[in-house]
Amino acid sequence: MFLYKKAYLIFTLSIFLVSIFSCKSKHAATEKQIVEDPAKMDDKVNENIKAVLRYAIENNGKINDSIKLSSTAVVDSFYHKNNYKNIWSKNEVWEPLADSLYNFIEGSEAYGLFPSDYHYKDLLTLKTMLSEDSLAKTDANVWTKAELMLSDAFMQISKHLKQGRLLPDSISLSANTTLTNDFFIKNLNTVIENKSLTPFFNTLEPKHKGYVELKKGIKKFVDSMDRKIYTYVIYPNKDSIAFIKNLQKRLQESGSLDPAIKHVDSAHIANAVKKFQKHKGIKADGKITSSLVRSLNASDAEKFKRIAINIDRYKQLPDHLPVKYIWVNLPAYYMRVVENDTIVFESKVIVGKPATRTPTLNSEITDMVTYPRWTIPNSIIKKDILPAMKRDPGYLARKGFHLVDLKGETVDPYSVNWAKYTKGIPYKIVQGSGDDNALGILKFNFNNPYSVYLHDTNQRYLFKNAVRALSHGCVRVQEWEKLAFYIAENDSINQKPGNSPGYNADSIKTWLANKERKKIIVKNRIPLSIRYFTCEGKNGKIVFYDDIYGEDKTLREKYFAGK
């Protein structure tokens, strides 16, 4: 009797579990649901949409084992407000709008987007199935999956075109930092009503000239793109074994290392590196450096990820830039003065070394100083000057620096016990004004928490270098004189009646000629943006710049590692 009851209990439990599984599978859009009458298909799809979305909400966006929605909440909200009616098909026939969205996804690389983010492969499979398999056309689950993926894709594309994929940047924050459900729902309803997709998507994109120029070059890049996926080498890498393994594989992929070699040693690696370097036309020293790894990783697939990163950086800018502004692009080593979307003039710049990088920021020029003094920042004192003073207190005199106490009085460096200081010193170190001053003969001040500024330099020969990440963080400007005169002219043109700015270009020339130290207050402050863009469009092509601070590398590994 006991065994009978036990068997009955097991049987009942099995039936219960099967029923739960069947119900779950049904809601997960896994079983076929054949509808013989095409006129009844939409009703069944509507019924399924509600059930599958309920399942997706409870299962982290999954609608079955292979398909996961990215915008589950907003998709559910849209269908809830539209009584769960299907919009992309009607009675087993694609709507033209569905074809438009599918075609947009297929060609979305031209926008710096990845088709894989929008269910491209799954939609391709369903589209092929529905066109070639007559039985599939009668399956309500197939149409339900297509319906939800298309709506989810629309929401994601809208977000990526408007806001991008990177987390909001507090420095270059756009005014539209939060996109509500209403934003997406209104957009989709607008597209359905107007029966027009791509023109609407184009309205979501930034209008900045730099964005437009970069986007122009993408299609040509994509059309000639080598789509082979090469091993990505992470360097530096805490896992040295994984690093060597990936490096070896990457060198084999490039043809620099023979895959037939069973036991690869350091000599094999060094020779393979030299072979790769020779092929790339760079110094063949066999050394493993950051520069070498960047070259190994510079495949077209990786370059496209850099394009995607930079296209999204434009989406973090305000919708409208000022009429006049100063734009410094750190990786490109240039400064531009822009007026009414036109470059007034451009200058080479020297920016911070990777160890003392120049910060990205928004500010405005507040004043200019002729023949400035340089008060050395504590960061430089701690890292460079204090160790030198411990070795030789005569270091300051040789550099033309003065040691000053908090009262402003000069202190003899030989009277200080430098050995007792490790993190800083209770003094200021100042370099007097003059032609040998590190700031040159003119400095441009702007409010910022980093103690950096734009300035001339006493090492003007360095502007000849191709790589100009050489400073302690400030930006050295080759055309500093043009910038000063532009600011002076702007102050003169925009002066209020009866309120003279008190200086002009001739005044600046006179003060410089007489080597006078003058602080010039700028009446009409010109906005300044220091940015980090590692590629841009020029004449229909994309120009890439060195990722000097590794920002692209960090973002690539955070957002696009699986692409």
List the CATH number of the domain containing 349.
2.40.440.10
pLDDT interval class at 5 (50, 70, 90): very low
What are the tens digits of pLDDT across the range 288-301? 999 999 999 999 99
| 199 shares its domain with 166 | yes
The pLDDT, as a whole number, for residue 4 is 42
| 364 shares its domain with 504 | yes
Q: Hey, which residues does 41 pair with through a beta bridge?
A: none
Q: Please give the mean pLDDT across all residues of the chain.
A: 91
What are the tens digits of pLDDT across the range 213-235? 999 999 999 999 999 999 999 99
Cis peptide bond N-terminal to 359, omega within 30: no
* Residue written as token pair 């100083």: 369
339 phi and psi, to 5 degrees? Answer: -140, 125
E strand map for 381-453: 401-404, 428-431, 442-446
**Higher model confidence: residue 408 or residue 76?**
76
The answer, yes or no, to whether residue 422 has pLDDT greater than 50, is yes
| 55 shares its domain with 156 | yes
Query: Could you say which of 205, 231, 247 is where a domain stops?
Result: 205
The pLDDT, as a whole number, for residue 176 is 56
Report if residue 552 sits inside a domain: no
Report if residue 557 sits inside a domain: no
pTM of the model: 0.88
Token digits of residue 430: 């100042």
| 399 shares its domain with 361 | no
The residue type of 503 is Y
Report if residue 11 sits inside a domain: yes
Report if residue 271 sits inside a domain: no
What are the tens digits of pLDDT across the range 454-508? 999 999 999 999 999 999 999 999 999 999 999 999 999 988 777 788 899 999 9
Query: Could you say which of 205, 228, 263 is where a domain stops?
Result: 205
Least Cα distance to 272 among 252, 292, 243 occurs for: 252
Mean pLDDT to the nearest integer, 519-547? 97
| 12 shares its domain with 161 | yes
Q: Range of 164's domain?
A: 2-205
> 22-26, 253-257, 348-352, 358-362 — which is least confidently predicted?
22-26
The pLDDT, as a whole number, for residue 174 is 59
The pLDDT, as a whole number, for residue 24 is 47
| 409 shares its domain with 500 | no
The answer, yes or no, to whether residue 349 has pLDDT greater than 70, is yes
**Higher model confidence: residue 131 or residue 358?**
358
The pLDDT, as a whole number, for residue 9 is 40
| 412 shares its domain with 439 | no
Report if residue 228 sits inside a domain: no
| 198 shares its domain with 326 | no
Report if residue 287 sits inside a domain: no
| 166 shares its domain with 37 | yes
Report if residue 548 sits inside a domain: no
| 8 shares its domain with 67 | yes
Report if residue 235 sits inside a domain: no
The answer, yes or no, to whether residue 250 has pLDDT greater than 60, is yes
Rounded Cα–Cα distance for residues 518 and 238 (Å):
52
Count other C-beta atoms under 10 Å from residue 406's C-beta. 8
What are the tens digits of pLDDT across the range 408-418? 899 999 999 99
| 70 shares its domain with 178 | yes
| 421 shares its domain with 525 | no
Mean pLDDT to the nearest integer, 517-527? 96
The answer, yes or no, to whether residue 560 has pLDDT greater than 80, is yes
Query: What's the structural domain count of the chain?
Result: 3
Rounded Cα–Cα distance for residues 429 and 499 (Å):
38
Residue 324 near residue 527, CB atoms below 8 Å: yes
Query: Could you say which of 389, 404, 431 is where a domain stops?
Result: 431
